[in-house]
Amino acid sequence: NQLNISQLITQTIKAFNNAYHCDIKFIQENDTPLFIETDEKKLKQLLFIFLDNARKYSDGTISVELGHDQDEVYIKIIDHGIGIPEIDLPKVFDRFYRVDKARSRKQGGSGLGLSLAKEIADAIGVIIQLDSVLGAGTIVTILSKKIEK
């Protein structure tokens, strides 16, 4: 299914902002509509997991950036929250893994979000990159092949 990714992100952020009373900003590199071949429902689910983590582990200053290079589209979910210690980065995609029970307890959660995200990403053929600095914030990048229209 070929999807207008700018439209899909706008819709998802709007729904998320309404549901959680957030004010997530959408930044688009330019106005050209970008298309990718993917499963709409699963991509929304994927975005939802990352937005929810950004919300839970930050003060709510979150932005989503959409852009592209020659053959790839990137979506970045950027928060300025508590970040993830370097030593935990390779493990956060494991099932039930939570960085620090003390810091995450008040947000609840089961440590399943990111393992599900990994499964969805593999199923729809997108790549996920995780960059995080403890105490500074986290950037999740979703990479997908760009479709020329």
Is 141 within 8 Å of 129 (Cβ atoms)? yes
109 binds ligand ATP (CB under 6 A): yes
Q: Which helix (H) or strand (E) holds 52?
A: helix 40-56
Q: Please report whether residue 53 would count as binding ligand ATP according to CB under 6 A.
A: yes
Backbone angles phi, psi at 30, to 5 degrees: -150, 180
Q: How far apart are CA 112 and CA 1, in angstroms?
A: 27
- Number of shown-chain residues binding ligand ATP (CB under 6 A): 22
- Determine the Cα–Cα distance for residues 57 and 80; give it in Å rounded to an integer: 9
82 sits near ligand ATP (criterion: CB under 6 A): yes
Binding segment for ligand ATP (CB under 6 A), chosen from 4-12, 18-26, 32-40, 50-58, is: 50-58
Q: Smallest distance, Å, CB 58 to ligand ATP?
A: 7
**By C-beta, is 56 or 76 nearer to ligand ATP?**
56
C-beta separation of 83 from 105 below 8 A? no
Q: Binding of ligand ATP at residue 57 (CB under 6 A)? A: yes
The residues of the shown chain that bind ligand ATP, judged by CB under 6 A, are: 53-54, 56-57, 79, 81-84, 92, 97-99, 104, 109-115, 138
